[in-house]
């Protein structure tokens, strides 16, 4: 028996395809748990969810954060329109209500870094024609606690011709410093973990095995853009082994399409990171295979939140069509997070990733497979 105290997860399927991809992922987690005797347990919660709102008038209980603090991590499927889109009478909430728990959890637990790795696994759809796009291997680290998402501002003279809306953005030096330092740390770790070294050119002509690219829109939004630029330069001096780079967000969008293989770690504001990570998800094969994690790299005092980049996909909800692999790859990130001090979690994570990769490379291009078929194939290819 394993004497380790159990890690406890709150499993929150949420809305739409969330339930389907979560069920598939739990099957896989159960297999891994049994095989490795992982000290892992979970509670499945009915909230946050639109259906909970239908029954209780709120997306989650008032004391949700208190109830969740006892968990080591939260695994969330998706929130939003529960679908099916074909049912015009379904219980549907404004986005601002159904998606609010995401932001409440991220902010309430101070999960200030959102990491979205984008690597094109062999067999995943490659949307760009240039063969070099197969080499995409980047990680976008998105500021997750402030910036454009502080939700401050308001509307006056509603509905009149004089109506005004303000939406404040807030950028603090401490948030910039911790985020950018984390980006450099990750860049180093990624370089160390890479089987095949990569080479990035530094301004002095020397090369480095890792790179961090800062994203701003400092030509039009100079206040925070310059703050971030200064903090980036200060912290970069502590990491002479890491190449640095800056892109304006609009140019970054262009280069993500034109030459995405030049990027390694990309660090961006909350909103700009949000937009770039939908694009990055497509570069790695689409939303169906794009994992995402919300963490506080400095502390385990609060649970981290693991939810794929995708949403509730109401157009395919309930039809056994959702790709569970983004959720599974997100669960692999979760196992890694839980396993920093325990190799057994890390082993389970790499087996899960290998099973997803094997499934991707075995799939016939263009073939349509159900959630159940994908999930059965992945379970099949896990070591017995």
Q: Please give the residue ranges that form the binding site for ligand IPM (CB under 6 A).
A: 99, 102, 274, 309
Nearer to ligand IPM, 72 or 115 (CB): 115
Which structure tokens are listed for 209? Answer: 């095995």
Q: State the minimum distance, in angstroms, from the CB of residue 279 to Mn ion.
A: 10
Nearer to ligand IPM, 99 or 209 (CB): 99
Contact between residue 124 and residue 360 where contact means Cβ atoms under 8 Å apart: yes
Which structure tokens are listed for 73? Answer: 């991590």
CA distance 43 to 73: 11
> Which residue, judged by CB position, is nearest to Mn ion in the bound state?
274
Residue 102, contacted partner among ligand IPM, Mn ion, none, CB below 5-8 A by kind? ligand IPM
Nearer to Mn ion, 32 or 283 (CB): 283
Q: Residue 159, class by beta-carbon neighbours within 10 Å (0-12 exposed, 13-18 middle, 19+ buried)?
A: exposed
Which structure tokens are listed for 68? Answer: 């969740």
What's the half-sphere exposure (Cβ side, CA atoms, 13 Å) at 287? 12
Nearer to ligand IPM, 28 or 99 (CB): 99
Instruction: Please state, in angstroms and as integers, the Cα–Cα distance from residue 154 to each residue in 33, 148, 270, 333, 358, following that order.
Output: 48, 14, 20, 37, 50
Give 221's contacts (C-beta < 8 A, 6+ positions apart): 169
Nearest to 323 by CA among 305, 302, 308: 308
Instruction: Please state, in angstroms and as integers, the Cα–Cα distance from residue 329 to each residue in 47, 236, 362, following that order.
Output: 22, 31, 17
> Which part of the chain contacts Mn ion (CB under 5 A), choosing from 215-223, 228-236, 274-282, 352-360?
274-282
Total residues at interface with Mn ion (CB under 5 A) = 1
Nearer to Mn ion, 146 or 274 (CB): 274
Nearer to Mn ion, 200 or 306 (CB): 306
Q: State the minimum distance, in angstroms, from the CB of residue 95 to ligand IPM.
A: 7
Q: State the minimum distance, in angstroms, from the CB of residue 256 to ligand IPM.
A: 16
Nearer to ligand IPM, 99 or 358 (CB): 99
> Which part of the chain contacts Mn ion (CB under 5 A), choosing from 9-17, 169-177, 267-275, 340-348?
267-275
| DSSP secondary structure, 257-294, as one string | HH-GGG-SEEEE-HHHHHHHHHHHHHHTT-GGG---EE
Nearer to ligand IPM, 9 or 99 (CB): 99
Q: State the minimum distance, in angstroms, from the CB of residue 226 to ligand IPM.
A: 25
Question: Which residue in 274, 307, 323, 333 binds Mn ion (CB under 5 A)?
Answer: 274
- Beta-strand relationship, 7-14 and 73-78: parallel
Q: State the minimum distance, in angstroms, from the CB of residue 242 to ligand IPM.
A: 26
What is the gyration radius of the CA atoms in the chain, in angstroms?
A: 21
Residue 99, contacted partner among Mn ion, ligand IPM, none, CB below 5-8 A by kind? ligand IPM
Terminal CA-CA length for the chain: 19
Residue 235, contacted partner among Mn ion, ligand IPM, none, CB below 5-8 A by kind? none
CA distance 78 to 90: 17
Residue 73, contacted partner among Mn ion, ligand IPM, none, CB below 5-8 A by kind? none
Residue 72, contacted partner among ligand IPM, Mn ion, none, CB below 5-8 A by kind? none
Q: State the minimum distance, in angstroms, from the CB of residue 21 to ligand IPM.
A: 15
Q: State the minimum distance, in angstroms, from the CB of residue 309 to ligand IPM.
A: 6
Q: State the minimum distance, in angstroms, from the CB of residue 345 to ligand IPM.
A: 25
List contacts with Mn ion (CB under 5 A): 274
């Amino acid at each position: 028996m394993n004497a380790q105290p159990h890690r406890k997860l709150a499993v929150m399927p949420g809305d739409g395809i969330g339930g389907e991809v979560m069920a598939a992922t739990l099957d896989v987690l159960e297999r891994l748990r049994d095989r490795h005797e992982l000290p892992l347990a979970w509670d499945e919660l009915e909230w946050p969810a639109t259906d909970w709102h239908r029954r209780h008038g709120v997306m989650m209980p008032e004391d949700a954060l208190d109830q969740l603090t006892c968990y080591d991590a939260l695994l969330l499927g998706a929130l939003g329109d529960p679908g099916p889109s074909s049912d015009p009478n379904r219980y549907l909430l404004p986005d601002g209500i159904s998606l609010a728990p995401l932001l409440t959890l991220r902010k309430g637990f101070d999960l200030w870094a959102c990491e979205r790795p984008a690597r094109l696994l062999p067999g995943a759809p490659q949307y760009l024609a240039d063969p070099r796009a197969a080499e995409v291997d980047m990680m976008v680290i998105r500021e997750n606690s402030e910036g454009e998402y502080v939700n401050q501002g308001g509307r006056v003279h509603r509905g009149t011709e004089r109506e005004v809306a303000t939406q404040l953005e807030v950028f603090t030096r401490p948030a910039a410093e911790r985020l950018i330092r984390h980006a450099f740390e990750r860049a180093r770790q990624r370089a160390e973990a890479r089987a095949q070294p990569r080479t990035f050119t530094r301004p002095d002509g020397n090369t480095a095995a890792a790179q961090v690219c800062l994203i701003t829109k400092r030509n039009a939004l100079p206040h925070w853009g310059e703050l971030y630029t200064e903090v980036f330069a200060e912290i970069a001096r502590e990491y002479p082994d890491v190449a640095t780079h800056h892109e304006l967000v609009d140019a970054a969008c262009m280069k993500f399409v034109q030459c995405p293989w030049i990027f390694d770690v990309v660090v961006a504001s909350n909103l700009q990171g949000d937009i770039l990570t939908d694009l990055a998800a497509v570069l790695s094969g689409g939303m169906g295979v794009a994992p995402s994690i919300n963490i506080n790299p400095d502390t385990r005092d609060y649970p981290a939140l693991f939810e794929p980049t995708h949403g509730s996909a109401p157009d395919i909800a309930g039809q056994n069509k959702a790709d569970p692999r983004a959720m599974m790859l997100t669960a692999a990130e979760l196992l890694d997070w839980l396993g920093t001090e325990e190799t057994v979690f890390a082993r389970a994570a790499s087996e899960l990733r290998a099973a997803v990769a094997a499934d991707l490379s075995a799939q016939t291009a263009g073939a349509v497979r159900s959630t159940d078929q994908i999930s059965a194939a992945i379970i099949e290819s896990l070591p017995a």
